[in-house]
Amino acid sequence: MDSAILKQLAALQPEHVIGPEHHRFRLKEPLSAHPLGQLWQADDIATTQPTPVTLLILPAELLAREGFVERLREQLNRNRSLNDRYSARCYGLFTWRGLFFTSWEPLDGLTLAQMFQSGQARKLNKRQKQGMVSQVALALEAHLNQTGQPHATLCPELIYINRRNGVRLMGYGWRELLEPVLPQLPQLPGYHAWQSPQAFQPGPLNSSEDVYALACMIYQLYGGKALFALDDNELSRERELKAPGGISREQWTVLQAALATDCELRPATPAELLRQFYDPPPPKATAAETQDAATTPAPEAPNPVNSTDTSASPQPGPARIWRWQPPTWSARLAAALALFTAGLALGYWLGWQHSPTPVPQAPRVLAEAVPADSRQARPVPPSATETIDSTESTLSVSAPTQPSAPGAEIISGETLRQNQYPADNLTLFRDQWAPDRYAPQMVVLPKGRFRMGDLHGQGDDNEYPVHEVVIAHSFALGRHEVTFDEYDQFAIDTGRALPDDEGWGRGRQPVINVSWEDARAYAAWLAQQTGEPYRLPSEAEWEYAARAGTETLYWWGDRLTSGMAVCDGCGTEWDGRKPAPAGHLSANPWGLHELNGNVDEWVQDCYSPSYENAPNDGSARDAPNCQQRVMRGGSWFEIPRLVRSASRYRHPPTSHRNSWGFRVALDLPTP
């Protein structure tokens, strides 16, 4: 085991600055232990303004395992496309001085395991328990729908509860990652106690594994004790189970089915278990009850306004044989609102109840000085004597907010400029100059640096030499490719011919059949209408935005993943046929859609056959009487290799095709 790594881990203290030179973090305070290491609250100081994050610092024992970091990187990359509010979002995997750590959205550090151990889980009321179960079930369901694979590692140590926004679930697909290293883990995850009989045998697992694990969680949450111990074997799953307190007879019937040793008898998915458990049908009536009911007048239904009966158990007598009717939509909506309120109440209750146990701090040694004015727009540089391994992994996202998420707030450009600069990273805004005249939606991008060019040996000669580019200016980039809706208003106002849509429709379709000259004219018109410096992006800015902090072939990883881009072979309904509507595919970590594939995008630069003497400040390379302009991103027409983030090609500035489009950039003022 590397003693230098052990010393680095022991030396970590609040206010230390760690991370590669181009992406730095300032530690704030340690949180709870994690199965894969130690959690810290920290600030990402590579962003325009310090952004709260949670760092997970891997222990030396795991780093000593050959290939572990690579397997972790691959697994995190596979989860990059998850779009679910209850899943913990990972922003990056970093290396620094031999240490490896991951950056996550802010977590409070409280886990369901801690709640079970401290007895806090017993104090939750029915609505709070239902809110927690529902959020975990919805997270599992989202993962199944988006990947077709089960979580398969559900356990209380990987279920985090935040004060303000409820459950955050980790561990998607980590089973293969964790199984070989269980003896080296600093904290043993308890998924073996929640695993099904099938998980004791080799072979792939399906959705029934998550159903079984969720049922174990429900049993422990309502019953107050675990159904199985961590070291129980497969035979333990066959013993007779006793009903936990606090649930109805109908709910216990549903739970027993979910815990059946035969996976075919379980509810199909976590969402189905959730529905059945909280909305169970009444038990079937016996023959005698049916005969009695035929001669017994049915009682009047209770008035839901005046009723004070809050019992979860069914009423005795004839009420049991009433015909069950599905809840009305208004009742379902009321229940959803109540559940949402319960989730918020759960978060605030947990915040009041939970007081984290302080983690003993190591002696302060080798602390890096952090200047008092460290809230600046650039990362804190290393000392002159410091050697930093600046090789960053495939994950490196500068800021947590993804504006493309459903419900993202779009502020006006006027509001953005009235605020004190610098603007928050990934702020989503839109300029308007008339009641029905809008500029494209824009995303404020973070300052930073990246390696530009082919990092994997799969590119063309024009993608070399790889060189570092520092983006020290504040700018925004179009959230989507410019659409026909946006371009047509320019063409009509300026008397230009409307570009042909090939019969594929206009509206939200990305504009096509436009030349570089057309794209530049649109940006100039936009600048004139708004009074703001709209322009085409440089190709360095374009690649910086397309990578969004990653160093993989595509922003989601090194492998082509079906449905993540539109190209000839990317696995979408539009492949080789036409572009998808703007914003239809998943956004990258900075909230930008369809940079890879869909339509080729013109950028400002004059084409050069290599990156020799290329600007390293993100500016565009230009030349008088330029005969070829750069295009980036690939299109619905190209093969997958051409939609890599590093791929570049050229075309005459006056030419156009039905696979060519563009998006705009905008310089932002600095203080």
Of 73, 80, 66, 65, the residue nearest 95 (C-alpha): 73
The alpha carbon of 479 is separated from its chain's Cα centroid by a whole number of angstroms, namely: 17
Q: Are residues 195 and 271 in the same domain?
A: yes
Say which amino acid occupies 602: W
Write down the pLDDT at residue 206. Answer: 93
∠ CA(384), CA(385), CA(388), 5° rounding? 90
- DSSP-H helix ranges across 79-188: 112-118, 126-147, 175-178
- Region 384-388 average pLDDT: 24
* In 97-162, beta strands by DSSP E: 99-104, 159-162
Write down the pLDDT at residue 351. Answer: 41
Q: Are residues 100 and 119 in the same domain?
A: no
Label the pairing between strands 37-44 and 51-57: antiparallel
| Secondary element (H or E) of residue 477 | strand 475-478
Any domain includes 365: no
Residue 293 DSSP SS3: helix
Task: Evaluate whether 648 touches 628 at the Cβ level (below 8 Å).
Answer: no
Residue scoring higher pLDDT (397 or 128): 128
Q: Residue 235: which domain range?
A: 112-284
| Secondary element (H or E) of residue 145 | helix 126-147
Write down the pLDDT at residue 66. Answer: 86
Any domain includes 369: no
Label the pairing between strands 437-438 and 432-434: antiparallel
Any domain includes 373: no
Where does the pLDDT of residue 5 fall: very low under 50, low under 70, confident under 90, or very high at 90 and above?
low
Of 559, 557, 564, the residue nearest 587 (C-alpha): 564
Out of 44-58, 144-158, 522-536, 631-645, which region has the weakest mean confidence (pLDDT)?
44-58
CA distance 557 to 456: 12
Q: Are residues 499 and 556 in the same domain?
A: yes
Where does the pLDDT of residue 279 fall: very low under 50, low under 70, confident under 90, or very high at 90 and above?
confident
Check whether the bond before 465 is cis (ω within 30° of 0): yes
Q: Are residues 117 and 99 in the same domain?
A: no
Of 152, 182, 149, 154, the residue nearest 82 (C-alpha): 149
Number of domains in the chain: 3
The alpha carbon of 523 is separated from its chain's Cα centroid by a whole number of angstroms, namely: 32
Domain closes at, from 267, 284, 301: 284
DSSP 607: P
CATH number at residue 119: 1.10.510.10
Phi-psi region of 531 (alpha: psi -120 to 50; beta: other; left: phi over 0): left
Any domain includes 243: yes
Of 164, 169, 123, the residue nearest 344 (C-alpha): 164
Any domain includes 528: yes
Give per-residue pLDDT as tens, 435-486.
889 999 999 998 999 999 999 988 889 999 999 999 999 899 999 999 999 9
Any domain includes 398: no
Q: Are residues 570 and 604 in the same domain?
A: yes
Give per-residue pLDDT as tens, 125-160.
988 999 999 999 999 998 898 888 999 999 999 999
Of 619, 592, 621, the residue nearest 462 (C-alpha): 621
Q: Are residues 453 and 555 in the same domain?
A: yes
Q: Are residues 118 and 191 in the same domain?
A: yes
* Residues in CB range of 340: below 8 A, 6 or more apart: none
- Region 358-370 average pLDDT: 25
Take residue 601 and report the two structure tokens written for it: 């995008």
Q: How many CA atoms lie within 13 A of 244 on its CB side?
A: 20
Question: What does residue 249 show for φ and ψ, rounded to 5 degrees?
Answer: -65, -40
- Region 536-542 average pLDDT: 98
Give per-residue pLDDT as tens, 180-226.
988 888 888 999 999 999 999 988 999 999 999 999 999 999 999 99
Q: Would you tell me how many other CB atoms lie within 10 Å of the CB of residue 382?
A: 18
* Helical packing angle, 207-223 and 126-147, nearest 10°: 170
Q: Are residues 201 and 221 in the same domain?
A: yes
Any domain includes 393: no
∠ CA(657), CA(662), CA(668), 5° rounding? 165
Take residue 581 and report the two structure tokens written for it: 């509507």
Write down the pLDDT at residue 92. Answer: 81
CATH number at residue 581: 3.90.1580.10
Task: Evaluate whether 244 touches 129 at the Cβ level (below 8 Å).
Answer: no
**Which residue is associated with the tokens 């029915």?**
126
CA distance 77 to 73: 6
Task: Evaluate whether 255 touches 234 at the Cβ level (below 8 Å).
Answer: no
* Residues in CB range of 417: below 8 A, 6 or more apart: 669
Is the pLDDT confidence value at 394 over 60? no
Take residue 500 and report the two structure tokens written for it: 């042909």
Question: What does residue 137 show for φ and ψ, rounded to 5 degrees?
Answer: -60, -40
Task: Evaluate whether 23 touches 448 at the Cβ level (below 8 Å).
Answer: yes
First-to-final CA distance of the chain: 48
∠ CA(440), CA(442), CA(448), 5° rounding? 150
Q: Are residues 94 and 126 in the same domain?
A: no
Residue scoring higher pLDDT (393 or 171): 171
Write down the pLDDT at residue 397. Answer: 34
The alpha carbon of 299 is separated from its chain's Cα centroid by a whole number of angstroms, namely: 51
Take residue 335 and report the two structure tokens written for it: 């229940």
Residue 606 DSSP SS3: strand
Is the pLDDT confidence value at 427 over 60? yes
Say which amino acid occupies 488: D
Q: Are residues 443 and 583 in the same domain?
A: yes
DSSP string, 337-386: HHHHHHHHHHHHHHHHH--PPPPPPPP--SPPP--TT--SSSPPPPPTT-
CA distance 522 to 488: 10
Residue scoring higher pLDDT (64 or 481): 481
CA distance 519 to 508: 17
Of 44, 18, 27, 64, the residue nearest 386 (C-alpha): 18
Take residue 505 and report the two structure tokens written for it: 């429709």
Q: Are residues 494 and 476 in the same domain?
A: yes
Q: Are residues 568 and 585 in the same domain?
A: yes
Domain closes at, from 253, 284, 315: 284
Out of 20-24, 320-324, 570-574, which region has the weakest mean confidence (pLDDT)?
320-324
DSSP 358: P
DSSP 510: B
Q: What percent of the chain has pLDDT over 70?
A: 78
Task: Evaluate whether 443 touches 411 at the Cβ level (below 8 Å).
Answer: no
Any domain includes 486: yes
CATH number at residue 92: 3.30.200.20
* Residues in CB range of 330: below 8 A, 6 or more apart: none
Of 590, 52, 667, 668, the residue nearest 421 (C-alpha): 668
Where does the pLDDT of residue 300 fall: very low under 50, low under 70, confident under 90, or very high at 90 and above?
very low
Q: Would you tell me how many other CB atoms lie within 10 Å of the CB of residue 53?
A: 24
Domain closes at, from 266, 284, 302: 284
Out of 10-24, 310-324, 491-505, 546-560, which region has the weakest mean confidence (pLDDT)?
310-324
| Model confidence, pTM | 0.52
Q: Which residues pair with 72 in a beta bridge?
A: none
